[in-house]
Amino acid sequence: AGNNAAHEDFAGIAMTGYAPAGQSWTPDSSGHGTPVAGTIAAANNNVGVVGVSPGKVSLHIVKVFDGASCAWSYSSTLVDAANRCASAGAKVINMSLGGSTSSRTERNAFASLDSQGVLSIAAAGNDGNNRSSYPASYDSVMSVAAVDATNAHASFSQYNSQVEIAAPGVGVLSTYPFVSAPMNAAGGSYIVAAMTGSVVLLALAMKTLP
């Protein structure tokens, strides 16, 4: 998906990236990479939101999916992205992506990264059931589910024995403009926005600064 590196909330953050030939890791092609990066690192600058670790990390963005839909990619592409993150010095690899099929190539790659001291984190999945999603469900990857503002399980979030932690995942504001369109029906006016649980994807590395 990529990231909008020019966003004001990333000013002063050390940021590098990689995209396959013919693509660019910036700007964001789907509107997903930028809010994920912002949730991690948005500056505490009295503008917009504040990230979990403002000014404390550098970012290395690796583009795994291209275009507005970010529909799918190869296991080898994800493994290459993860290895590029590690080669760039990542201590944590964040993956807001997933699929229903396990891959021996992925399993071995993330086990190898784990043995090197790299923490890989992935979304548990957005299908609202107890099926496994990968890479989150590999033993070497931390699986993160979603809760709402009351700490209740988010209805779209997958739940299974591989989930290690849960974090806010409903109505979270971040570094991407809220775009809406009015809709009038039965005498009422409503905001039209993306459905909760819609899936778009990103691979993102995070490394600690000295």
How confident is the model over 39-65, as pLDDT tens digits? 999 999 888 889 999 878 999 999 887
Q: Helix or strand or coil: residue 12?
A: coil
The pTM of this model reads 0.80
Is it the case that residue 75 has pLDDT exceeding 50?
yes
Q: How far apart are the first and last CA of the chain?
A: 28
Q: Is the pLDDT of residue 129 over 70?
A: yes
| C-alpha torsion sign, points 10, 53, 197, 102 | positive
Structure tokens at 2: 């990529």
What letter would DSSP give residue 114? H
Does residue 95 register a pLDDT over 60? yes
Helices (H), the chain: 33-41, 75-87, 104-115
Q: Is the pLDDT of residue 23 over 60?
A: yes
pLDDT band at 195 (very low <50, low <70, confident <90, very high): very low
